[in-house]
Copies of this chain bind each other. A is one copy, B any other.
């Protein structure tokens, strides 16, 4: 509606700003992504160096104390930060962003405090050696940055800029946050195309072609920033930064020819990976429900839980490598590697021997994955070591998600999947001659397909990580098989978490039972309407009484011949209007001119989170309460409507596809009250509908397609 009043200069400002914001989001996300890696590599590097120095002196107990102590302190600090400053920063963040882009305005999801905790909490959690990744948090961070920039910072810091008023609406905000999410993936994996596809496949609920272009621009900026900074670090000016920290492999040396037996092996990997992936989802769901009981008891319990998991992880990482035999070093490579990273960790072994389990456990997660993916290293790992590492990473991944720290799911899943793939590749050795590193990659793909249920974006991300397009068909195949198998059991992990968190997420397809209900059936609660010219006291009373965000406005005589639906008015607009105090003594229609004298077009724009006028801000005296105000100028005169007899499924499609927040239900036959009710997002939720019609619960739902 604002568009009509915009002139050319304003449109130019808008277009320039849109692209400038996309650029800024890319720059900022790229910088944060680089800073995150730099910090993790240096903190974790320092910790591992300290530990290995003690071990070289055979002071094993002190080494463990130092190692576990560092982990503990980092984990506890992170949990404290998260619990006290921004509880919304815990977890992956992808489900929250997904819900936001679906239209759920949950409080504090994208607040500046969440951004702060997410950045530093993610560094702390990953540096503490916990089985968590930085990808989910990076997506959330990118989205928070986008939201922060789009709002012109927080109002507290007086950063609101006049141009930014154009972005005070749902659509432009969602567009920015989609760009931010894509930038996050691009920064985490250095995968610009993968980031765009991830935003498209997993995060966004509505998509336009123009958005594809802008998202792509943002991720390209991220890629350029990262490339420049890593080039700067190659010269050794970044401390322990080492190989870049951002996992990036080069498998192009390995062979990419394959025959039928190889394809069979790939299908087997995909099928088992799908099974294990859906089991992973199932377990995470169970664990999360138990943890939420603990976490609800308060911040100290959150910290206690995190400390427990940290201790458990330290014990596993330090204890399990003792089970592995020492292996003589292969000739011709630097072995054992002294220092922080590298394929061959010495651990307790004599000179010229290495401990293969320690190479996986006593490393940063990125380096462990790089070791698993490395090609041309057929015999580096024992089957027993791979089995132990797989079991440990699988279980630790499950128990770690849900503690009160920012924790991504990609890396744990990739680690478990890569060790599983390498294990299966070793077992399938007689069948297939593919490289073990490639098996590892396929295993990781099968786990990602089995848990996240994304195919195209995971495939492209893996391709961008490995920089080899020739294995595309194999990765595609394994993803298709694992997703198909896993879809038979449960939903993707992000969908599970969205549901568990209770976000009113609108699915793409309406549930089958909605076909048997009418739109009128789903309307519930008392209908509250306002008159076209309403008494101020009535409005205030209505706003106090209910938390509804939209009210139908009914024109009644003398303003119309018979009662008719005038339109829909929003709570936020009512509050702005009341604050303006343009009241009249008599019940007269003042018209739009009267209101436009007092307000600009942007006064009614949607404010940022927590920035709008609140009911408590109003200061209306008793005399004013008895006066009248004309609601016509702020009423949406043509809301989308459906007839009460329309199947609920059709109404749901309308609601979802157009991204509505309120849908008016009008009577089928004339002569009745002009509106039956209003459908909102919550009215389409299964809990609501099955609560109204419990008999539908017992009918077996149709298979989804």
Interface residues of A (CB under 8 A from B): 3-4, 6, 8, 11-12, 14-15, 18, 192-193, 196, 200-201, 207-210, 212-213, 216-217, 220, 223-224, 227, 455-456, 459-460, 463-464, 467, 469-470, 472-473, 476-477, 480, 483, 508, 512, 515-516, 560-562, 564, 637-638, 640-643, 645-647, 650, 653-654, 657-658, 668-671, 702-703, 705
| Chain B residues closer than 8 Å to A223, beta-carbon distance | 472-473, 476
| Chain B residues closer than 8 Å to A14, beta-carbon distance | 705
9 contacts between A and B (CB under 8 A): A3-B702, A192-B473, A193-B463, A200-B212, A212-B456, A213-B483, A463-B469, A640-B642, A657-B658
Partner of A15, one of B480, B641, B653, B705: B705
| Chain B residues closer than 8 Å to A658, beta-carbon distance | 653-654, 657-658
- Using A8-B703, A646-B638, A705-B14 as known contacts, say yes or no to A220 and B472 having CB atoms under 8 A apart: yes
- B472 and A193: CB pair below 8 A? yes
| Chain B residues closer than 8 Å to A640, beta-carbon distance | 642, 650, 654
| Chain B residues closer than 8 Å to A210, beta-carbon distance | 508
Q: Which residue of B lies closest to A14 (CB)?
A: B705
| Chain B residues closer than 8 Å to A192, beta-carbon distance | 472-473, 476
**Once the chains are docked, how many angstroms separate the CA of A589 from the CA of B646?**
21
Determine how close the nearest CB of chain B comes to the CB of A533; give it in whole angstroms.
19
**Once the chains are docked, how many angstroms separate the CA of A255 from the CA of B216?**
24
- A456 and B216: CB pair below 8 A? yes
Q: Which residue of B lies closest to A457 (CB)?
A: B212
Partner of A670, one of B467, B473, B637, B671: B671
Determine how close the nearest CB of chain B comes to the CB of A449; give it in whole angstroms.
11
**Once the chains are docked, how many angstroms separate the CA of A45 from the CA of B619?**
87
Shortest 10 CB-CB contacts between residues of A and residues of B: A638-B646, A220-B476, A670-B670, A224-B473, A216-B456, A657-B657, A213-B455, A11-B703, A467-B469, A212-B456
| Chain B residues closer than 8 Å to A220, beta-carbon distance | 472-473, 476-477, 480
| Chain B residues closer than 8 Å to A456, beta-carbon distance | 193, 196, 212-213, 216
**Once the chains are docked, how many angstroms separate the CA of A11 from the CA of B700?**
14
Determine how close the nearest CB of chain B comes to the CB of A514; give it in whole angstroms.
11
Determine how close the nearest CB of chain B comes to the CB of A276; give it in whole angstroms.
21
| Chain B residues closer than 8 Å to A670, beta-carbon distance | 562, 564, 670-671
- Using A456-B196, A516-B4 as known contacts, say yes or no to A209 and B217 having CB atoms under 8 A apart: no
- B647 and A515: CB pair below 8 A? no
**Once the chains are docked, how many angstroms separate the CA of A562 from the CA of B213?**
53
| Chain B residues closer than 8 Å to A4, beta-carbon distance | 515-516
- Using A201-B212, A562-B670 as known contacts, say yes or no to A643 and B645 having CB atoms under 8 A apart: no
Partner of A207, one of B207, B460, B469: B207
- A702 and B508: CB pair below 8 A? no
Determine how close the nearest CB of chain B comes to the CB of A9; give it in whole angstroms.
11
Partner of A564, one of B209, B455, B669: B669
Q: Which residue of B lies closest to A519 (CB)?
A: B638
- A209 and B201: CB pair below 8 A? yes
Given contacts A213-B455, A641-B641, A654-B658, 9 further A-B contacts (CB under 8 A): A8-B703, A12-B703, A15-B705, A192-B476, A200-B200, A223-B472, A463-B469, A467-B469, A641-B642
Q: Which residue of B lies closest to A222 (CB)?
A: B473
Q: Which residue of B lies closest to A651 (CB)?
A: B638
Determine how close the nearest CB of chain B comes to the CB of A178; give it in whole angstroms.
14
Determine how close the nearest CB of chain B comes to the CB of A141; give it in whole angstroms.
22
Determine how close the nearest CB of chain B comes to the CB of A51; give it in whole angstroms.
36
| Chain B residues closer than 8 Å to A516, beta-carbon distance | 4
Determine how close the nearest CB of chain B comes to the CB of A476; give it in whole angstroms.
4
**Once the chains are docked, how many angstroms separate the CA of A455 from the CA of B220?**
12
Determine how close the nearest CB of chain B comes to the CB of A312; give it in whole angstroms.
37
**Once the chains are docked, how many angstroms separate the CA of A591 from the CA of B693?**
27
Determine how close the nearest CB of chain B comes to the CB of A208; give it in whole angstroms.
6
**Once the chains are docked, how many angstroms separate the CA of A6 from the CA of B702?**
9
| Chain B residues closer than 8 Å to A647, beta-carbon distance | 638
**Once the chains are docked, how many angstroms separate the CA of A306 from the CA of B220?**
43
**Once the chains are docked, how many angstroms separate the CA of A480 from the CA of B463?**
23
Determine how close the nearest CB of chain B comes to the CB of A97; give it in whole angstroms.
16
Partner of A702, one of B11, B208, B470, B562: B11
**Once the chains are docked, how many angstroms separate the CA of A467 from the CA of B467?**
8
Partner of A643, one of B8, B512, B638, B702: B638
Q: Which residue of B lies closest to A18 (CB)?
A: B705
- B650 and A638: CB pair below 8 A? yes
**Once the chains are docked, how many angstroms separate the CA of A12 from the CA of B560?**
55
Q: Which residue of B lies closest to A561 (CB)?
A: B669
Determine how close the nearest CB of chain B comes to the CB of A337; give it in whole angstroms.
27
Determine how close the nearest CB of chain B comes to the CB of A1; give it in whole angstroms.
8
- B641 and A645: CB pair below 8 A? no
- A641 and B643: CB pair below 8 A? yes
**Once the chains are docked, how many angstroms separate the CA of A464 from the CA of B469?**
7
Determine how close the nearest CB of chain B comes to the CB of A244; give it in whole angstroms.
14
